[in-house]
Amino acid sequence: MIELLTTHEMGRADRLTIEAGTPGIVLMEAAGAAVADCARAALQRLGGRRALVLCGPGNNGGDGYVAARILASEGFEVVVGALVDPATLRGDAALAAQAWSGETLTGETLTGETRPIVQLDYAGASVVIDALFGAGLSRDLHGEARAAVELLNNWREQSGYVIAVDAPSGLDCDTGQIRGACVTADETITFFRLKPGHLLLPGRTLCGRIACAQIGISGDVLATIAPRTFANTPELWRAHLPTPRTEGHKYDRGHALVLSGAMHRTGAARLAVRGALRGGAGLVTLASPREALAVNASHLTAIMLTPCDNAHELGEILSDRRINALVLGPGGGVGEPMRAMVLAALAAPAQGRSIILDADALTSFEGRLRDLAEAVKASQENVILTPHDGEFGRLFKEDAPSRLDRAWAGASLSGAIVLLKGADTVVAHPDGRAAIIQDAPPWLATAGSGDVLAGLIAGCVAQGAPAFEAACAAVWLHGAAARAFGPGLIAEDLPEAMPGVWRALWGV
């Protein structure tokens, strides 16, 4: 289930299912049952018997009423708090509220009525189910809704346990951003498919553990919806990444070239070439300024070395069409010489070569995005830009609230695949496809990590993987290597962790 659905697409999935003959209340009953299952497990794990269910004004609240009814029927003590009078609900949510016949518990008193949420007493509750607002929230929370969210978060900070229905209330599920205020959940249970905001920050940190329940929506609706955003997992790209063959040889696995910086800035490029070699390229060459040849040679063994001092010499090297992956930028220096190198690489004739522009290769085009975009589009090659947020801002001057929207904008403006690096790395293609990493470990926040990633991309495209899938694979492999090594990771450790990652991926 790699597809990520926007709120509009998820609404369409619901409508298509209902139009096909499944009543909406049937979907709501299935969703509420999944929430009840999650809450039951949490209550049993915590040794509790009392749950508080906070119900909002829409279908998310309806899911909460269903969960409350099921838990109460199983003997749990259930408190229902409504943001609006249940009598004002419409459609399936009204049916779910009408089926809730239990009394509302406020503190220790059975009142026989539903009280405003801000009047509810959380004392004695082991679990709170947040069914206020789901994935469809499109406005900032204010008034009683915001007060309820803040009250819930205060309770959770005192060791409470919160389960969010579909999404923590206050989370924009298209952008991952907070709409005024947002619940911090320990668990989130969503339905049919995850949404981008479940993976984008800060949404990912607010959701806690995420589960996706199937509630009766057929996967066939995806053919009609045609989603373009995906979770970056091996399901997305593994079939496109060649596996080593018994009869194969190094020339089958491509030749990657990385450009080195000056003598005092050679380390970044060496991290990249090591990443390319461990990433699967059959041959890897470091193109080095002559002044740095001795420095680089003293650190390299399996990696070849060739002199390269300027754009003209780079063009001559690239006349060898067997070089099918190129990395420019790590430690390369910012300014006109680097711009000339990039433009020479984009102008070099080579059908099917992939060019990865990282770090200084991007910053060198600050204020010159049009020049870069024109060269990218004229090259007809696969170009991958790998900026972090600072580099992205300098190059594109885009500041959309969503990293997904920023990456899409960058891809559209440049004509290149944009890999926007971060804890929620997004890979966006100019054709509208995008992938979001799901579980990048924090150990990756270390100097040189991005240089290794650029090399891993080169290693994947050198083997023949399509550029978008290669970029996605490299991001995942990068995270898997960091996770395998764990705390204390430095960039040099990432290539050395790759054999174990490949072994696990291929099951060998």
Q: Cβ(33)–Cβ(64) under 8 Å?
A: no
Our count of domains for the chain comes to 2
Same-domain check for residues 303 and 202: no
Instruction: Tell me what pLDDT residue 114 has.
Output: 46
**Which among 227, 242, 277 is the end of a domain?**
227
pLDDT single digits (tens) 304-363: 999 999 999 999 999 999 999 999 999 999 999 999 999 999 999 877 899 999 999 999
Share of the chain above pLDDT 70, in %: 97
81-85, 117-121, 177-181 — most confident range: 177-181
Report the CATH number that the domain containing residue 416 is assigned in CATH: 3.40.1190.20
Q: What is the mean pLDDT of residues 233-258?
A: 89
Task: Please say if the pLDDT value at position 182 is more than 60.
Answer: yes
Instruction: Tell me what pLDDT residue 350 has.
Output: 75
Backbone angles phi, psi at 4, to 5 degrees: -110, 125
Which residue type, as a one-letter code, is found at position 159? S
Instruction: Tell me what pLDDT residue 508 has.
Output: 84
Task: Please say if the pLDDT value at position 1 is more than 70.
Answer: yes
Backbone angles phi, psi at 110, to 5 degrees: -80, 115
At 74, is the pLDDT very low, low, confident or very high (cuts 50, 70, 90)?
A: very high
DSSP H or E stretch at residue 128: strand 127-131
Task: Tell me which of 195 and 243 has the higher pLDDT.
Answer: 195
Per the confidence metrics, is the pTM higher than 0.85?
Answer: yes
DSSP H or E stretch at residue 110: strand 109-110
Place of tokens 């089958």: 252
Task: Please say if the pLDDT value at position 278 is more than 50.
Answer: yes
pLDDT single digits (tens) 370-426: 999 999 999 988 999 999 999 999 999 888 879 999 999 999 999 999 999 999 999
Task: Please say if the pLDDT value at position 228 is more than 90.
Answer: yes
Domain ranges, residue 216: 3-227
Of 373, 348, 351, the C-alpha closest to 362 is: 373
What SS3 class is residue 44?
helix
User: Does the residue 240 lie in any domain?
Assistant: no
Task: Please say if the pLDDT value at position 244 is more than 80.
Answer: no
pLDDT single digits (tens) 149-166: 999 999 999 989 999 999
Cα 318 from Cα 428, distance rounded (Å): 27
Q: Cβ(276)–Cβ(455) under 8 Å?
A: yes
User: Does the residue 244 lie in any domain?
Assistant: no
**Which among 176, 210, 227 is the end of a domain?**
227
Backbone angles phi, psi at 376, to 5 degrees: -60, -50
What separation, in Å, do the N-terminal and C-terminal C-alpha atoms of the chain show?
25
Averaged confidence pLDDT in the chain: 94
Lowest mean pLDDT among 29-38, 60-69, 84-93, 475-484: 84-93
What SS3 class is residue 389?
helix
Cα 214 from Cα 110, distance rounded (Å): 35
Q: Cβ(328)–Cβ(259) under 8 Å?
A: yes
User: Does the residue 188 lie in any domain?
Assistant: yes
Count of residues in the chain? 508
Same-domain check for residues 208 and 291: no
Q: What is the DSSP string of 432-444?
A: S-EEEES---GGG
Cα 253 from Cα 167, distance rounded (Å): 44
User: Does the residue 435 lie in any domain?
Assistant: yes
Burial pattern 237-261, b for ≥16 Cβ within 10 A else e, equals beeebeeeeeeeeeeebbbbbbbbb
pLDDT single digits (tens) 85-140: 888 899 999 999 999 987 544 333 334 444 567 677 788 899 999 999 999 898 99
